[in-house]
């Protein structure tokens, strides 16, 4: 699906020079060494409580990227180091997520039916907007609507779009952006492997010198 989306976007002349999608197959450390230092932004958008990214977010921060993230896992640790002013946080926190589990009150279909923008986005998986994705598109549509959107994507979607708008605005002010980037780099020492191994040795392995 991402390759078909790339075909669509990369061949749209109105987007030429503005937006390009590239999917890196067989992601590995050699590819990470290229893309992490080159990145201006780092999106860490897993649902709060799932702890999807543990260290990639730290690598991006350490090399000067600004993080756009949910309050999940190590994103929280990064926010604690750089403060809210130097990271863009959006969406539910883990308590909001757990509350949905307890109350069984998450209904993706009603979000879909009541929000025309979300409906348009979700429908694009099944209405031919993206060519050649009948099988994959139907599976994604069904996971979001028929199977009630396990990762609560639809609830966070509007906040995610606002976060994208915010980070666009920040990027337009290059002096402010560079300042944020430097603040991220200078606060990343907590995440060096030396510090992490020292902490593991003390707290988890309980080594005595
Ligand atoms: C850092 C890294 C990972 C682990 O990423 P997490 O965000 O901690 O899940 C996996 N693969 C490669 C190539 C990496 O560089």
pLDDT at 17: 81
C-alpha distance across the termini of the chain, in Å:
52
Instruction: Answer yes or no: are the C-beta atoms of 87 and 166 closer than 8 Å.
Output: no
Q: Is 27 in the pocket of ligand 1 (CB under 6 A)?
A: yes
Mean pLDDT over the full length of the chain: 96
CA 174, CA 72: separation in Å to the nearest integer?
28
Q: What is the band of 124 on the pLDDT scale with cuts at 50, 70, 90?
A: very high
| Ligand 1 mean position, distance from CA 62 (Å) | 14
pLDDT, tens only, 41-60:
999 999 999 987 789 999 99
1, 5, 123, 145, 167 from 14: Cα distances, Å: 21, 15, 23, 32, 22
* Range scoring the smallest mean pLDDT among 16-20, 31-35, 105-109, 166-170: 16-20
* Domains identified in the chain and CATH numbers: 1-204 (3.40.50.2000)
pLDDT at 107 over 80: yes
Residue percentage of the chain with pLDDT more than 90: 92
Atom of ligand 1 nearest to the CA of 29: 13
Residue percentage of the chain with pLDDT more than 70: 100
Q: What are phi and psi of 118, to 5 degrees?
A: -65, -40
The torsion region of residue 13 among left (phi > 0), alpha (psi -120 to 50) and beta comes to alpha
pLDDT at 4 over 80: yes
pLDDT, tens only, 47-98:
999 987 789 999 999 999 999 999 999 999 999 999 999 999 999 999 999 9
6, 171, 172, 179, 180 from 175: Cα distances, Å: 32, 9, 9, 6, 9
Average pLDDT over residues 138-159: 98
186, 162, 209: which is closest to 64 by C-alpha?
186
| Ligand 1 mean position, distance from CA 55 (Å) | 6
């Amino acid at each position: 699906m991402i390759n078909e989306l790339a075909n669509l976007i990369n061949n749209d002349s109105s987007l030429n020079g503005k937006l390009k999608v590239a999917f890196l197959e067989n992601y590995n450390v050699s590819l990470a060494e290229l893309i992490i230092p080159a990145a201006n932004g780092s999106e860490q958008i897993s649902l709060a409580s799932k702890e999807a990214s543990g260290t990639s977010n730290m690598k991006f921060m350490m090399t000067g990227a600004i993080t756009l993230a949910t309050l999940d896992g190590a994103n929280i640790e990064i926010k604690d180091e750089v403060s809210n002013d130097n990271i863009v946080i959006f969406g539910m926190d883990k308590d909001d997520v757990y509350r949905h589990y307890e109350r069984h009150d998450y209904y993706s279909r009603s979000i879909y039916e009541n929000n025309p923008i979300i409906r348009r986005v979700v429908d694009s998986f099944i209405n031919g907007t993206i060519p050649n994705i009948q099988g994959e598109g139907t599976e994604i549509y069904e996971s979001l609507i028929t199977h009630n959107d396990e990762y609560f994507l639809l609830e966070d979607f509007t906040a995610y779009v606002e976060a994208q708008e915010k980070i666009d605005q920040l990027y337009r002010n290059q002096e402010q952006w560079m300042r944020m980037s430097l603040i991220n780099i200078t606060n990343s020492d907590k995440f060096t492997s030396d510090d992490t191994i020292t902490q593991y040795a003390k707290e988890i392995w309980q080594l005595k010198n």
